[in-house]
Amino acid sequence: MPLGFSDILMSIVTATWKKKNAREEIYGLVDTVNSLDFGIDKNYILKSFLYLYHRDVRFRVVSSNNNFIKTIEENWKDIRNAIISLFELLMTFGLNHFHANIKQCNSTSVVLYLPQKHLHKFFNKN
């Protein structure tokens, strides 16, 4: 089976991050969100990177330049907190994986909004 772009991007991120273990961080975030009764995977997190820091949100190999990857690592704490805050916010509305089909809902755009307005600090205690 050929590798998908998210697998390639994950490999590039893992190999490029200098200060953090990208694989542990990304899968840890997936586990944290899924413990809130949502069902996301690494693809959701990687797509969020594109929404946040890249002008082209399509998964493509040219999307993974070093400046883009460096920006993700430098802003990881805010990205992580914004994503957790999003799902905590959805929980306050009584939503979970049964109600919010994350793959079809445009929740990633909310991830863009939370850090821009520093709203993730109100929802996340980390």
3-state secondary structure of 65: coil
Report d(CA 85, CA 43) in Å as an integer: 18
Task: Show me where the domains of the chain are located.
Answer: 5-123
- Total Cβ atoms within 10 A of residue 62: 9
In the block, tokens 């944290």 appear at 32
Model confidence, pTM = 0.77
20-72: per-residue pLDDT in tens?
Answer: 999 999 999 999 999 998 888 998 898 888 777 766 655 555 445 778 889 89
Q: Which residue has the higher pLDDT, 98 or 16?
A: 16
**Sequence-ordered list of residues with C-beta below 8 angstroms from that of 110, at least 6 positions apart, any chain:** 86, 89
